[in-house]
Amino acid sequence: MLLHSFTSWLAFGSLALGVTIPRADPPTRVLVNRQATSASAVPDGACTNGPQTRRCWSNGFSISTDFDAKAPPDGTTVTYDLEISNSTRPNPDGSGGNRPVMLINQQYPGPVIRAKWGDWIIVNVKNNLQHNGTGIHWHGVRQLNTCQHDGVPGITECPIAPGKTRQYRFRATQFGTSWYHSHWSAQYGDGVVGTMIIDGPASSNYDEDLGTLPLTDWYYTPALTLNEVAQHSLVGPPTPDNILVNGTHVDGKGNGNYAVMKVTKNKKYRIRIINTSVDNYFSVSMDGHPFTVITADFVPIKPWTTNQLTLAIGQRYDVIISANQTADNYWFRVQPGTACGRNAITSKNIPMGAILRYEGAANSNPSSTASVTMKTTCVDEPTASLVPAVPNEVPQSVVGTAGKMDLTHFQDPAKSNLFRWYIDGSPHIVNWNDPTLETILSGSQDFGPNSNVKSMQQKDGWYLWWIQSSARIQLPHPIHLHGHDFYIVGQGTGTWDGSTNGLTFNNPTRRDTATLTPGGYLLMAFPADNPGMWIMHCHIAWHASQGLSMQFGERYSDLQGGSLGDRSVLKKGCDEWDGYWAPGSGNTPDRPYNQTDSGI
C-alpha cells in the first residue's frame, strides 16, 4: 500500500512535478452489459476479503462478479506522477559497463502503480527526454469509454512532446496484475516500463502478497539502436545479453544479484508473474513449490496446479505457492524460450532466475534441484487449463461472419533490406501527428495509407476475427489486443478450415494476449461494447516496429456522438506535439530524427 496515494508517493522520494495535482472529479460511466450468459454470477453476498475469504470483496462484489458487466461503485482516486528521463546507468546485472537508458522516476522498473477495483487512476506523465516523444499504455486495462487514455501514439493520442506533461485518467473496472510501458517505438526496451496491481478478490486463498515479478530480456545495447538493426537484419533479431527478474540478475560470470523473495514457513504467498520482454518467451518453475495459478492476464480462472508455466510477452499469471518445505533457499527458475529466440545467458551455465528464501535460511544461493525439466518452447498454456472463473458464452453464429486477416512479410532489397510484416498486404505505420481517434472525432473516416483499420460498428454485436499466418518465416507471435479481453475460440497450426470442429464457444479462455502459433491461426471473438480505436499488435517489440499491427475502429457514431466525454487532453497533446514535430517542416534543431519504424 506504500504507493497508494499522491502523498505517500512523494514520501517515496520520487521526483515530484511542480504542478498542483487536481483531485479527481471523474465522470460517471455506465458499464455495458455483455450479451453473453453469466450463469453463476451470483455474488458471494456481503462477506469481506481476507486471507481465508479471498473470493469475497465487498457489498455484493466478489470473484463471481462479471467485471465486464459491473465494477464496484467509483472508489477512491489514486494519483501518480511519472517522469521519463534520459540517463546513463550500469547494467542491472552486475556485468558493469554503462549504457544509456530511459527511466521512469530514475528507477528500473518504474514504480508499481497500485489501486483497488473500482478506483479511478490518474497518472501525470512528464516527458523529460530531449529528443524523443513518448506515451504510456496501461497494458490490459479495458479503458471502457476512455479510449483517449490508452496511450498509443498515432492511434489514441499524439506523442507527448519533449518537456510536456500529459494526464491519463481511467477506471480500474478489472482487477489483478499488469504492467505499463511506453508505446512509442521500441522505447520500453530502454527502461520505460513498470508494473500495476489492482487489488480485488481472488479465486483461491493466500496469506500474503509478494507483489509483482516482472521478467524480461536485457540488452547491453539500447533498444532504439537495436530496433534499427532489427529492421534491416538478414539474420533475425539481435540476441539479448541476459534476463532480468524484478529488475536484477547475475551476469555470465556470476557477478550481480539475484532477486530474493522472502517467505515464512507455513504461509501461502501470491506472486504476480509478468513477461515484460522485448523478444523472449520464458518458462518458469520453483523448486519444490508447485504453482496454483489463479489468473491469466486480468481474467480470474479456476485454480489449477502446475510445476511449470510458459509466458509470452505481455502475458501474466498470478500464482500461489505454499511455503511448506524445509526452511531453506530454493531456485525460482526462468528459462528463455530458445525454440523461438536466443539469449546469450543460456550458454553460461549459471542458474537463471531468482531465489525463494525462507526465514532463518542462510544468506546464500540455493542448492535445490529442479522439480521439472524446463521447457524451451514458445507456446501458450493449454486453454483447457485456463478456465475463466466467471463463465461466458460466445454465440456460435459468429463463425459464419469471421473476418480474416492474413499475415505475411516482405524484405525490400531496394530499401537496405527493410523488413516489414504485412496484415492483408500492408504494414501498419502510424502517423504521430494524426492519431486515428482524432480523425474519427473530427468527423472523417479517411485514415490515410498503412492504417490497417477493421471496422466494428454494430453496438454490442459479436465479432470473430481470424488471423491466419501465411508467412514464410514461421514464428510464434504474442498477439495483444487493446480495449478488450478477447475469447480464444480457436488456436492451432495450419489453416483454419472454416468449420466449428475443435472450436470452443462455451466459456473459452479469455485474456488480452495469446500466441499465434507458427504458420497457424488464432480465432478471437469479442463484442463491440467499447467505442474506440483499439490497436492489436504482436508484442515482440521488433515485430510491432516492423508493422505487425492493425486497429479496430469500434462504433464511430458513438465516438462522434460524445461517448468519450472530455477531449481536451487529446487536443492539448496534439497541439503540443504539432508544435514540436511540425508536419512538412522537415528537420528542425529540436527534431534531429525521423520516424523510421511503425511508430508504435
Chain residues binding Cu ion by CB under 5 A are 477, 538, 540, 543
**211 lies in the binding site for ligand NAG (CB under 6 A):** yes
Give Cα 584 to chain centroid, integer Å: 34
Pairwise CA distance, residues 267 & 206, whole Å: 8
- What is residue 544's DSSP assignment? H
Of 143-151, 310-318, 380-388, 449-457: span binding ligand NAG (CB under 6 A):
310-318
Q: How far apart are CA 26 and CA 41, in angstroms?
A: 28
Distances, alpha carbon 509 to alpha carbons 145, 251, 300, 435, 476, in Å? 24, 37, 10, 32, 19
**In the 8-state DSSP scheme, what is residue 351?**
-
Distance CA 573, CA 28 (A): 24
Min separation Cβ 520 and ligand NAG, Å: 15
Rounded CA separation 293/295 (Å): 6
The answer to whether 177 contacts ligand NAG (rule: CB under 6 A) is no
d(CA 29, CA 426): 36
Residue 12 as a binder of ligand NAG (CB under 6 A): the answer is no
- Determine contact, residues 20/377, Cβ cutoff 8 Å: no
Distance between CA atoms of 549 and 427, rounded to whole angstroms? 7
- Residue 275 touches which of ligand NAG, Cu ion, none (Cβ within 5-8 Å per kind): ligand NAG
Could you write out the DSSP letters of every residue in 34-67? PSS--TT----TT----TT-TTEEETTEETTS-T
Instruction: Name the one residue in this structure whose C-alpha cell is 518452447.
Output: 377
Cα angle at 79 between 78 and 80, to 5 degrees? 130
Q: Cβ of residue 574: shortest distance to ligand NAG, in angstroms?
A: 17
Question: Could you give phi then psi for residue 181, rounded to 5 degrees?
Answer: -160, 160
- Considering only 104, 129, 196, 352, the residue that binds ligand NAG (CB under 6 A) is 129
Lookup: cell for 358: 525462507
Smallest separation, CB 482 to Cu ion (Å): 16
Closest by CA position to 296, among listed 516, 140, 92: 140
Give min distance, CB of 157 to ligand NAG, in A: 16
| Contacting residue, 147, 215, 475, 516, with ligand NAG by CB under 6 A | 215
CB of 476 to ligand NAG, least distance (A): 7
Q: Does 374 bind ligand NAG (CB under 6 A)?
A: no
The answer to the question of residue 290 lying near ligand NAG (CB under 6 A) is: yes
Question: Under the criterion CB under 6 A, does residue 324 sit at the interface with ligand NAG?
Answer: yes
Q: Tell me if 237 contacts ligand NAG by CB under 6 A.
A: no
Query: Which does residue 213 touch among Cu ion, ligand NAG, none (CB within 5 to 8 A, set by kind)?
Result: ligand NAG
For ligand NAG, the closer of residues 110 and 532 by Cβ is 110
Cβ–Cβ < 8 Å for 284, 353: yes
- The footprint of ligand NAG on residues 442-481 (CB under 6 A) is 478
Closest CB to ligand NAG: residue number: 282
Q: How far is the CB of 352 from ligand NAG (least distance, A)?
A: 10
Q: Which of ligand NAG, Cu ion, none does residue 261 bind to, with CB < 5 to 8 Å depending on kind?
A: ligand NAG
205 lies in the binding site for ligand NAG (CB under 6 A): no
Least distance CB 446 / ligand NAG (angstroms): 23
280 binds, among ligand NAG, Cu ion, none (CB under 5 to 8 A by kind): ligand NAG
As beta bridge partners, residue 197 has 114, 177
DSSP string, 89-118: EE-TTS---EEEEEEETTBSSEEEEEEETT
Q: What is the DSSP letter of 576?
A: H
- Is 590:580 a contact under the CB 8 Å cutoff? yes
* For ligand NAG, the closer CB: 149 or 482: 482
Instruction: Give the whole-angstrom CA distance, residue 55 versus residue 44.
Output: 8
Give the nearer residue to Cu ion in terms of CB position, either 289 or 543: 543
Out of 334, 437, 503, 533, which residue is the one contacting ligand NAG (CB under 6 A)?
A: 334
C-alpha cell at 541: 517489440
CB of 351 within 8 A of CB of 333?
A: yes
The reply to whether 338 sits near ligand NAG by the rule CB under 6 A is no
The SS3 assignment for 525 reads strand
The minimum distance between CB 145 and ligand NAG, in angstroms, equals 30
Contact range with ligand NAG by CB under 6 A, out of 26-34, 145-153, 231-239, 337-345: 337-345
According to the binding rule CB under 6 A, does residue 433 interact with ligand NAG? Answer: no
**222 near 99, Cβ under 8 Å?**
yes
Q: How many chain residues bind ligand NAG (CB under 6 A)?
A: 42
Measured from the CB atom, is 170 or 269 closer to ligand NAG?
269
Nearer to ligand NAG by C-beta: 65 or 598?
598
Q: Which of 18, 48, 587, 589 binds ligand NAG (CB under 6 A)?
A: 587
Q: Does 594 bind ligand NAG (CB under 6 A)?
A: yes
Pick from 5, 35, 233, 595 the residue near ligand NAG by CB under 6 A: 595
- Cα end-to-end span (Å), the chain: 32
Query: Which one of residues 154, 336, 388, 573 is an interface residue with ligand NAG (CB under 6 A)?
Result: 336
State residue 419 phi and psi, 5-degree precision. -95, 130
Residue numbers of the site for ligand NAG (CB under 6 A)? 86, 129-132, 210-213, 215, 224, 246, 261, 271, 275, 277, 280-282, 284, 290, 292, 310-313, 322, 324, 334, 336-337, 340-341, 378, 478, 540, 586-587, 592-595
